[in-house]
């Protein structure tokens, strides 16, 4: 994977979406459509330094580069860099790490 020239701030992370083929039970693959839901899974490609707590200390992020995650459907902001789509979201919007 190419190095991304984005550095997230605070408790933000940058995620590359994982698009899954959608298929019926009979095995027919459904095409992408304009109505398609945003992805809910992705791979973390950059992690910010963590948010600053009320006591002035920085909270260490729970995520690391390479983690595959499930996140809230409508939380990320979409950006494109060199024709590649990335998502930027807060670590608090991550629901789980896929192990």
CATH (domain of 71): 2.30.33.40
* Residue 6 is assigned to a structural domain of this protein: no
* Residue 3 is assigned to a structural domain of this protein: no
Q: Where are the alpha helices (DSSP H) in the chain?
A: none
Most distant CA pair in the chain, distance = 56
pLDDT tens digits, residue range 52-97? Answer: 999 999 999 999 999 999 998 888 999 998 888 999 999 999 999 9
* Residue 30 is assigned to a structural domain of this protein: no
Instruction: Report how far residue 77's alpha carbon sits from residue 98's, in angstroms, rounded to the nearest whole number.
Output: 21
Domain range holding 93? 12-18+37-98
pTM of the shown model: 0.77
pLDDT tens digits, residue range 37-61? Answer: 666 899 999 999 999 999 999 999 9
* Residue 88 is assigned to a structural domain of this protein: yes
Give the count of domains, the chain: 1
């Amino acid at each position: 994977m190419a190095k991304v020239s984005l550095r997230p701030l605070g408790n933000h992370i940058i995620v590359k979406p994982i698009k899954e083929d959608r298929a019926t039970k009979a095995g027919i693959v459904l095409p992408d459509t304009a109505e398609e839901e945003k992805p809910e899974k992705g791979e973390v490609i950059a992690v910010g330094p963590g948010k600053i707590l009320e006591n002035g200390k920085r909270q260490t992020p729970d995520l690391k580069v390479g983690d595959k995650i499930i996140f809230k459907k409508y939380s990320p902001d979409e950006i494109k860099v060199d024709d590649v789509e990335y998502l930027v979201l807060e670590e608090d919007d991550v629901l789980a790490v896929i192990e």
